[in-house]
Structure 1
Amino acid sequence: MEMLFTSTLTSTPKNTSTPTPTLPSLEFSIPSPTATTTTESPWRPPAYPVPWAPTSHDHFYFSRPIAAKDVKLPFTNYRYANVFFGDHVHTGMDIPADLRESVLAAGDGKVVWAGYGLYRGGISLDDPYGISVVIKHSFGYQGQPLFTVYAHLDETIVHAGDIVAAGDEIGLVGNTGESTGPHLHFEVRVGENDFFATRNPALWLAPPQGWGVLAGQIMSSGGRLLENESVYIHSRLDVENEDEEDEVWIAKSYTMEGINSDPYYQENFVLSDLPAGYYRVNIPYIWTVFTKVIEIRPGEVTYITFEGWKGINVTEPPKPEILFAPAP
């Protein structure tokens, strides 16, 4: 389980000073991706080198905060913008991990928070984040600073003010704060170190090599974004072939209050860490199940839209100047 926050929460106290006006650009070195894994493999290949940006719109800038060779996908019900226990909205992703497993910095930067009290401010032992670390990174995105949050730790290895590099140990997995078992709660914040400045980490963490990401919009027939709708991704393309194993992934569309979509993708669902290949997507809508075969490309984002009775389409994200209005 994860932090229990309601949609009526007020803005969290700022823990950092005013960011510097300019941030250095990242240098990209991108090898040609190859698909080398299958859905049957329990082994997770190493991630693409960071920063990874197969298109000018992508920003897979961060390495994995938990080092593991086996597949450690985010908990299905605790992905970004999902709702659990009523109206509690999730502002990051939960990564399964063993108690006191090493937590690693996702990128170079400076520690700006270490300890209790990230949400409420001060030394608050009942803070829902528990023991946490925040890093302000030495690089930004489109002129905005980037922060990553590591919560529910058992203890921190670093202190505020420390300079860290990607892959440095910064803490140990724990169960502090509002949590029902050991795991890492990981957030990406853009622009400021604030509870309401989060983005979906699945669009910022470099995918494993040969794997990709599915993102898109789930809408009504009239084009209204639908909340908390299920998207089923099947490895079996032929629904009638019962001899073929069918592995199923489930994603849910965002609950949008207090949640931020990517300015380019304008997504309301994301499913990361899919081995490259073909999949059958099923989306139930008013007593009908719509189906589409899609291709997940290695190291890339596959984008789909569902618009009610118009069905599922593989397409490009909507043009920002038409559908996207940045927050004031």
Structure 2
Amino acid sequence: MHIRRPQFFAFFLLVFLPVALMMWWSRPGAGASGSPTMAAVPAAMISEPTGTPTAPPATATATPSQTPSPTATATALPTATPRATSTTRPTNTATPLPSATPVDRACPDPRPEKPIYNRNYLGAAPWPTPDPAGFSPHFWFGPPLRTDDAIRLNSSYPYGYDGGERYLLHNGVDIAGGLGTPVLAVADGTVVVAQDDYGELYGWRCDWYGHLLVLELDEQWQGQPVYVLYGHVLNFMVAVGDHVTQGQPVVEVGVGGAATAPHLHLEVRLGGNEFTMTRNPALWLPPRGENGVIAGRLLDPAGHPWQGVQITAAGPSTYVTWSYLDDPLHFINPDDRLAENFVVGDVRPGRYRILLTVQGVAYEAFVEVEPGRVSTVEIVTAPFKTPTPRPPATATPAQTP
């Protein structure tokens, strides 16, 4: 059949042009120019072990003849000051149960200023001591995100640290997740908060989380209620009073409040739904696969904690963390039984050498990490050395010509 030119042109517009447009718009990235762009959590911030240890220099401390068990502790001795390992410890401080006093949610006016945190600093008060009854892991939680990969914590901003002076002291952990990723209930519980915090105080200041959801778990720990807070979230799927089950979608990853990029901020609060009652979530979220967790104590002989000290765990993989910082309101708390002041989470099994330097003296200790367990280690340093004051500089008298 012979098609005249006008008919052919109309046939092209009706058939071939729509097909070409559909192929154009279905290409990858088409139409994305109108969507908001958000910076993702950098890959370097996610907990991945490095291959080569970057540890402080080793000391001449003798290696124990037997590998410590996960529940045993090891005391590292400085080469400069040999001493006995037995020290007097203060009695364990029990966490008080919450009172019936109504919580003041009024926004502080003016907003609080960021404190100055002292690193490589010896705390003024003795640190709590471990419960002599021992410790049983409370890895109760299921994964807070449903992803194809395992949940990874931001290792550069762990609980009790300020990200190298960039942020406020961290009362939880951050988990990478794209905007709109469903967030799951980590355990069975009841929704007690599902709202914004623009006009009510749930964090360090108002508008700290943007939007938050808080669960009170069905199961208590040592007779105290356990709360789990999800911060910087959007699109609530549940309401206050709803009962949820582990793994149920409750909200989505968002961005707001103090967050600069989409991610999930997760807190564990023990005894009350207060910003001052948090615990380290790395001791509640199960480690990945066959991994374990190291919980340590870094103290002086009188039991005072060293704050903001960089700590390296070198073994089958290498991990870096920091001992807990403190602030004027003492927002950071250890586990009531472990009394730790540093945690290395999600550690591959094997024997690890714990390395650090305090006041120019290098220390080491050894710990064995076993799958699904919390391994403990304690390092007691030499007593604090008061810096020797330097005499004031004096002017050199001018020479007589």
Structure holding more strand per residue: 1
Alignment check: 8 A CA contact 1:12 1:195 kept: no
Does residue 272 of structure 1 match 2:354?
no
Distance of 2:272 and 2:259 partners within structure 1: 25
Distance of 2:353 and 2:324 partners within structure 1: 21
Unaligned runs of 5+ in 1: 2-10, 16-54, 237-246, 311-328
Alignment check: 8 A CA contact 2:179 2:262 kept: yes
Q: Select the residue among 156, 160, 175 that pairs with 1:77.
A: 156
Q: Select the residue among 308, 320, 339 that pairs with 1:250.
A: 320
How is 1:36-185 mapped onto 2 (pairs within 5 angstroms)?
57-84=136-163, 85=165, 88-117=168-197, 120-121=200-201, 127-185=207-265
How far has the Cα of 1:291 moved from its partner?
2.9
Structure exhibiting the larger radius of gyration computed from Cα positions: 2
Does residue 226 of structure 1 match 2:299?
no
Question: Kindly tell me: are residues 119 and 277 of structure 1, through their superposed partners in 2, closer, same or farther at Cα, counting changes over 3 Å?
Answer: farther
Distance of 2:142 and 2:161 partners within structure 1: 23
How far has the Cα of 1:14 moved from its partner?
6.5
Distance of 1:272 and 1:67 partners within structure 2: 20
How far has the Cα of 1:280 moved from its partner?
2.5
Distance of 1:217 and 1:97 partners within structure 2: 31
How far has the Cα of 1:287 moved from its partner?
2.4
- Compare 76-85 and 263-272 and name the one that shifted more: 76-85
Question: Kindly tell me: are residues 56 and 280 of structure 1, through their superposed partners in 2, closer, same or farther at Cα, counting changes over 3 Å?
Answer: closer
Q: Which amino acid aligns with 1:258?
A: F
Distance of 2:157 and 2:235 partners within structure 1: 22
TM-superposition CA deviations, 1:207-264 (whole Å, max 9, x none): 233111100111235432011111111235xxxxxxxxxx431111112321111111
Q: Identical aligned pairs, as a percentage?
A: 32
Structure 2 residue matching 1:134: 3-state secondary structure: strand
Normalised TM-score (structure 1): 0.69
Query: For residue 203 of structure 1, what is the aligned residue in structure 2?
Result: 283
Distance of 1:96 and 1:248 partners within structure 2: 21
Question: Kindly tell me: are residues 276 and 69 of structure 1, through their superposed partners in 2, closer, same or farther at Cα, counting changes over 3 Å?
Answer: farther
Structure 2 residue matching 1:89: 3-state secondary structure: coil
Alignment root-mean-square deviation, CA: 2.7
Question: Kindly tell me: are residues 69 and 86 of structure 1, through their superposed partners in 2, closer, same or farther at Cα, counting changes over 3 Å?
Answer: closer
Structure 2 residue matching 1:281: 3-state secondary structure: strand
Alignment check: 8 A CA contact 1:119 1:129 kept: no
Normalised TM-score (structure 2): 0.57
Distance of 2:259 and 2:140 partners within structure 1: 28
Distance of 2:260 and 2:103 partners within structure 1: 23
How far has the Cα of 1:59 moved from its partner?
1.6
Q: Which amino acid aligns with 2:144?
A: P
Unaligned runs of 5+ in 2: 1-40, 42-101, 107-133, 384-401
Higher relative contact order (CA 8 A, sep 6+): 2
Question: Kindly tell me: are residues 274 and 154 of structure 1, through their superposed partners in 2, closer, same or farther at Cα, counting changes over 3 Å?
Answer: same
Q: Which amino acid aligns with 2:315?
A: S
Distance of 2:272 and 2:105 partners within structure 1: 8
Query: For residue 369 of structure 2, what is the aligned residue in structure 1?
Result: 296
Distance of 1:230 and 1:119 partners within structure 2: 37
Question: Kindly tell me: are residues 230 and 118 of structure 1, through their superposed partners in 2, closer, same or farther at Cα, counting changes over 3 Å?
Answer: farther
Alignment check: 8 A CA contact 2:151 2:288 kept: no
Distance of 2:149 and 2:382 partners within structure 1: 39
Number of residue pairs aligned between Structure 1 and Structure 2: 250
Q: Which amino acid aligns with 2:379?
A: F
TM-superposition CA deviations, 1:109-153 (whole Å, max 9, x none): 11111120188349xx96111111100111111111111000001
Alignment check: 8 A CA contact 1:131 1:156 kept: no
How far has the Cα of 1:87 moved from its partner?
7.6
